Structure 1
Amino acid sequence: MREKSSISGPRPRMSRARKGAAVGLSLAALAAGATTGAAPASAQPKNAPAPAADCSAAYRIEQKLTGGTTWRMCWRYDGKAGLVLEKISYQPKGETKPIKVLNSARLGQIHVPYDDGSVEYDDLTGFGFAQGLMNLAPGECPGGTIKTVKVPEAWDPQNADVKGLCTTTRARGHAYRMQGDAANKVYQAQSKDLLVYTVNQVGWYEYMTEWRFQDDGTVTMNVGATGSLSYDDYDAGDGRGWPIGKGDRAKATSHSHNVFWRLDFGLDGSTKNRIEQYDSAVTAPASGDPAPKTRTTRTKIAKELAGDAKNYRWWRVVSATGKNKDGHARSYEIVPGASTKYPGRSYTKHDMYFTEYNKCEKFATHNPGCGNGHPKSVDKWVSGQALTHPIAWMNVGFHHIARDEDQQPMPVHWQGFSIVPRDVTAMNPLTPSELAWQNGHWRPRS
């Protein structure tokens, strides 16, 4: 699905190969919008207590969910990255103040190479992703609020205000279900998420960028690609495309979507987070053993890392300052989603990067902001530097081989990952009050 040959409105015309740069864009421009949050506030001092989102009402998002958890954050709109969420915290019931989770969260790049080798695109830094913010109809944000965003370097300066940011809640189903031994009571709860999303058009694609905040503290980041198959992109050769329509002659060119996210953790208000990697090994049972054995080992990641997701491997970001009520260090586990890793470029050969914070390193590929010969891709930033303020970059790939069902319009195909609280609270933050005494190695009451 290549670039549209023409785009409605004042956007520049582009050929199907997206030739030419898409109008000049401002790297750090902010948008003036409406939700509850303000212009981006200054970075939190290290080791500061976790505050509520301290931005003006126009840029603040605050939502109390049915389980009693309140999420708070600020938002702004960047001239290349699009929606940026900052100062993200959540406050479950039983906690006296918000727990800071992230300093900022945003997309780091959408890299789109085509199977025939003719073109590849970097949609955030090269093709006007931010300027393609779409107006949302009320029915697209059921039960929520659509906020107005002032788009930096808008293609039509007279129409820079776009009703393009939806904040709403959406049912998730069961949060938990448990039936007691006596079988006389079922503990169950239905959950809702806070959902924040935008839709950005790049040529034929319409990218849905959504952030889901659960009442148990989990955050899920997804990008969904939808829109249309390009009518003039049916010339792929065998092995590089799929026949769409009658017969076997017109083949839509296959391609990849390699989406990067950039997360700046600020657990408990500190940038001094630690990175740990966990690997488990399973050994076959020895003679006489009843079953295989599994042993899990921890590796402290003290220096920058280019990591690969593997079976029985996971990472967590650990607070250097905060502990839960059981005395355990608060942390967030990174849970990669399904991915087809693209081997064609050095920066897409790994799933996970941890780099030391550098204010100019904002985009995983074709990063425009550093200058002075500084490398332009995330893989080159992994140079052995000690991690004192780690930045997490997640790469999730999807190989899109078109199918008849992709027309018309194309169903959304999603890719993404989650971060899940690990020991942030002493118990499930949704625990019903009757079970709150069952913490740790409990014994049935007489």
Structure 2
Amino acid sequence: MRVHSDSRARTRAAVGLTVAALAAGVTAGAGPATARPENAPAPTAAYCGAAHRIEQKLSTGTTWRMCWRYDGKAGLVLEDVSYQPKGERRPIKVLHSARLGQIHVPYDDGSVEYDDLTGFDFAQGLMNLAPGECPGGTIKTVKVPDSVNETPTIKGLCTTTRSRGHAYRVQGDTPGTVHQAQGRDLLVHTVNQVGWYEYLTEWRFQDDGAITMNLGATGSLSWDDYDAGDGRGRPVGKGASARATSHSHNAFWRLDFALDGSTRNRVEQYDSTVTAPTGGQQAPTTRTTRTKITKELAGDIRNYRWWRVVSATGKNKDGHARSYEIVPGPTTRYPGRGFTKHDLYVTQYNPCERFASHNPGPCGPGAGTSVDRWVNGQTLSHPVVWMNIGFHHVARDEDQQPMPVHWQGFSLAPRDATAMNPLTPDGLAWQNGHWRPGR
């Protein structure tokens, strides 16, 4: 579950927002990189300066590089993201920019709904991190734009590394030989408080080139919501006098790819069908078809369906076009609003289209203020991916006190970004394509 501890009293807390904070579009923090408009070319690592640069070489040999800035509404923004595994002469550019695109929270009883990024001061709630929240890492100082707090400078951005267990294991063709490695990740995260709720925004950059984006929810259940007399809520505490109101979390991420340094990427959708055995076949037959997505898309997760973003300019050493596959996590699609009725949107880049709902705009006559209204048949030359991962929270006794962290998110998996597994040990490096045991 992803818990939302928001209180209806959040509306009262919003009075503290300044007019400037409500009106801000893409407002950046201090430093040369943070002042760059979102439609400008992606910066290089040197451009963003040491204070806004993240560069980490993991123990397995892979180096991740990126710039960061802090937006007045979206919070943490990562830009110019690239990775360089061992054996690659230069970094492989992956993303122009990546950030949250919205957190939409509707309550089951229909009384309220929130757009936490653009309507409820998510970015202003950046929290100071204790050293124990960033073990073995560095806590960077963040200047919060248009801060309504007395101290706009927060020690709120953690960068550290963590083990994720086995990266691979294979029994070699030599008796007693086992090739195995323990994977390492670069972890970048912040904590933002909204009402009773504390959001953990987490980015994991793996040494094999994968990227995982997670939004965690913790904090406290809101005692102001212990009034679910309509039967939709669940009792917490002794008896049934306190009932926590059920609600949904619809988290959006906005990804602007720049594979091999170009934003002119292609998007492809793959669908497979399985048919029963015929003509003496011993097993069912699976046929996979590829659809090139040339127009804006509102897509839905289905069994045997996946998407990838393909480089228009770069290939790996085997001559295959580099790409990244979009791997959704568990999700509950919320049917109550148009912008939450689909799992994935691909839109043509528009600097005005910044948030999946309650977009500040205006983006022109009839453009609408949500991502579903922007899918209107434009040809894709610079695609932007919006991923929607939903969760329906029905409270439980274990949610208090404090609430355990509940996660929702998805991953990007490299597909042909390198010719072989970027962590391949030297003893297996010759096994690319056709090979025979005992070479």
Task: Please indicate the TM-score interval, normalised by the length of the shorter structure.
Answer: over 0.9
Amino acid at match of 2:75: G
- Contact 1:260 1:396 (C-alpha < 8 Å) held by counterparts: yes
Q: Cα 1:239–1:71, aligned 2, differ >3 Å: closer, same or farther?
A: same
Alignment map for 1:26-41 (pairs within 5 Å): 26-32=24-30, 38-39=33-34
* 2:189 equivalent in structure 1: 197
Q: Cα 1:302–1:371, aligned 2, differ >3 Å: closer, same or farther?
A: closer
Q: Cα 1:20–1:350, aligned 2, differ >3 Å: closer, same or farther?
A: farther
- Contact 1:40 1:75 (C-alpha < 8 Å) held by counterparts: no
Tell whether 2:419 aligns with 1:426.
Answer: yes
Q: Cα 1:45–1:231, aligned 2, differ >3 Å: closer, same or farther?
A: closer
CA distance in 2 between partners of 1:54 and 1:420 (Å): 28
Tell whether 2:348 aligns with 1:356.
Answer: yes
- Contact 1:43 1:103 (C-alpha < 8 Å) held by counterparts: no
CA distance in 2 between partners of 1:266 and 1:53 (Å): 18
Range 314-323 or range 237-246, more displaced: 237-246
* 1:185 equivalent in structure 2: 177
Which residue of 153, 167, 171 maps to 2:163? 171
Q: Cα 1:5–1:393, aligned 2, differ >3 Å: closer, same or farther?
A: closer
The alignment partner of 2:224 has SS state of: coil
CA distance in 2 between partners of 1:23 and 1:4 (Å): 21
Tell whether 2:70 aligns with 1:77.
Answer: yes
Shift in Å at residue 2 of structure 1? 5.2
Which residue of 268, 277, 286 maps to 2:278? 286
Which residue of 110, 121, 124 maps to 1:128? 121
The alignment partner of 1:134 has SS state of: coil
- Contact 1:63 1:70 (C-alpha < 8 Å) held by counterparts: yes
Shift in Å at residue 369 of structure 1? 2.5
- Contact 1:275 1:316 (C-alpha < 8 Å) held by counterparts: yes
CA distance in 2 between partners of 1:51 and 1:133 (Å): 26
Shift in Å at residue 95 of structure 1? 0.6
Q: Which runs of 4+ in 1 moved over 6 A?
A: 42-46
The alignment partner of 1:268 has SS state of: helix
* 2:141 equivalent in structure 1: 148
* 1:265 equivalent in structure 2: 257
- Report 1 or 2 for greater relative contact order, CA contacts < 8 Å, sequence distance ≥ 6: 2
- Contact 2:142 2:153 (C-alpha < 8 Å) held by counterparts: yes
* 2:362 equivalent in structure 1: 370
* 1:295 equivalent in structure 2: 287
CA distance in 1 between partners of 2:231 and 2:268 (Å): 41
Shift in Å at residue 41 of structure 1? 5.7
* 2:379 equivalent in structure 1: 386
Shift in Å at residue 5 of structure 1? 7.6
* 1:250 equivalent in structure 2: 242
CA distance in 2 between partners of 1:87 and 1:78 (Å): 16
Q: Percent identity?
A: 72
Q: TM-score, normalised by structure 1?
A: 0.93
* 2:218 equivalent in structure 1: 226
- Contact 1:125 1:368 (C-alpha < 8 Å) held by counterparts: yes
Amino acid at match of 1:67: T
Tell whether 2:210 aligns with 1:215.
Answer: no
Amino acid at match of 2:332: T
Shift in Å at residue 263 of structure 1? 0.1
The alignment partner of 2:308 has SS state of: strand
- Contact 2:26 2:38 (C-alpha < 8 Å) held by counterparts: no
CA distance in 2 between partners of 1:417 and 1:113 (Å): 21
Tell whether 2:395 aligns with 1:402.
Answer: yes
* 1:411 equivalent in structure 2: 404
* 2:18 equivalent in structure 1: 23
Shift in Å at residue 19 of structure 1? 6.8
CA distance in 2 between partners of 1:136 and 1:180 (Å): 45
CA distance in 2 between partners of 1:328 and 1:209 (Å): 33
CA distance in 2 between partners of 1:27 and 1:231 (Å): 33
* 2:51 equivalent in structure 1: 58
**1:19-42 deviation line (CA, Å, top 9, x unaligned):** 768433132221237xxx944667
CA distance in 2 between partners of 1:417 and 1:246 (Å): 37
Amino acid at match of 1:251: R
CA distance in 2 between partners of 1:397 and 1:294 (Å): 30
CA distance in 2 between partners of 1:42 and 1:328 (Å): 34
* 1:107 equivalent in structure 2: 100
CA distance in 1 between partners of 2:50 and 2:276 (Å): 59
CA distance in 1 between partners of 2:272 and 2:301 (Å): 13
Shift in Å at residue 53 of structure 1? 5.8
**1:52-75 deviation line (CA, Å, top 9, x unaligned):** 564201100000011101000000
Where structure 1 has 5 or more consecutive residues not aligned to the other structure, the ranges are: 7-12
Where structure 2 has 5 or more consecutive residues not aligned to the other structure, the ranges are: none
Shift in Å at residue 248 of structure 1? 2.1
Shift in Å at residue 4 of structure 1? 4.9
